[in-house]
Structure 1
Amino acid sequence: MLFQTTGLLGMLHQLQLTPTAIDVLSVMVEHQDPGGNVGMKQSEIDEILGVGQASMSRAMALLVERGIVLRSGGGRGHRYALNPAVAGYESQNDLEKAMTEQLAVGGPPPIKVPGYAKRPPKQGKGGLHAVA
């Protein structure tokens, strides 16, 4: 069992992820090393999910854009890791050490929750109606 710093599952709806992105994230969480490194390529994740290369690429790009997944390397040599703020750790001490290290360099990369303005409902005929 790995310790995690945040309740990522509780905020998934706010991140506006696609169902495929949620599936990809689930596979990455399941296969992460302590500290969040994911030793899998996109093609390996796709073998598990069977979503196809285009869907896989869109889902991964969305996870990277939101800051949940960090990508390093170039070309076909990308390496992926979960954001340290959502990664799992072997112990509470490891989690605290990782967060202390992150805070020393300005904190973990931000997780970007899309902002949106909710429009008020259109004004209809008749105004308010009583409900019995």
Structure 2
Amino acid sequence: MTTTALLGLLYRLQLTPTAIDVLSVMFERAEAGGDVPLKQSEIDEVLGVGQASMSRAMALLVDRGLVLRSGNGRGHRYALNPAIAGYESEDEMKQEMTNLLALGGPPSITVPEYNRRPPKQGGRGGLHAVA
């Protein structure tokens, strides 16, 4: 999957606005091959969304398979899924994909599917303010 294909899927991935912002920062700062040299707290410094929102957004990105997490506790390291990461050259991308295919392929990206129609905005049964 290319980055362009990912952009075409964004609406189907059901990401929160914060998760989209986090992903954008990760793309901007990622090294060739997808390694992101930022800690979660450093991404939060860029966005200013707060620790709880940042953690939820990152968990969603990891759950969808867009971001890979390694390490334990506070020492997590992050990388973009190799299928959507940028590379220095087309040859580098082909080599990485060949290596991944030999190991079973890149990690999959999870696109949620609706089992039923999504709720309509507004109307009956929606959220109402309580005075």
Shorter-chain TM-score category? 0.7 to 0.9
Aligned match of 1:125? none
1:8 to partner: Cα distance: 1.1
Taking the TM superposition and a 5 Å limit, the aligned residue runs for 1:1-132 are 5-6=2-3, 7-119=5-117
* Count of residue pairs brought into register by the alignment: 117
Question: Based on CA coordinates, which of the two structures has the bigger radius of gyration?
Answer: 1
**Cα RMSD, aligned residues only:** 1.4
Q: Any idea what SS the aligned residue of 1:98 has?
A: helix
Percent identical = 72
Give the Cα–Cα distance (whole angstroms) in 2 for the partners of residues 61 and 117 of structure 1: 23
Structure 2, unaligned stretches of length 5 or more?
119-131
Where 1:34 maps in the other structure, the secondary structure is coil
Which runs of 4 or more aligned residues in structure 1 lie more than 3 Å from their structure 2 counterparts after TM superposition? none
Distance in 2 (CA, whole Å) between partners of 1:15 and 1:46 is: 22
Task: Measure the CA separation in 2 of the matches of 1:45 and 1:24.
Answer: 7
TM-score normalised over the length of structure 2? 0.86
Q: Return the alpha-carbon distance in structure 1 between the equivalents of residues 86 and 93 of structure 2.
A: 8
Normalising by structure 1, what TM-score? 0.85
Higher relative contact order (CA 8 A, sep 6+): 1
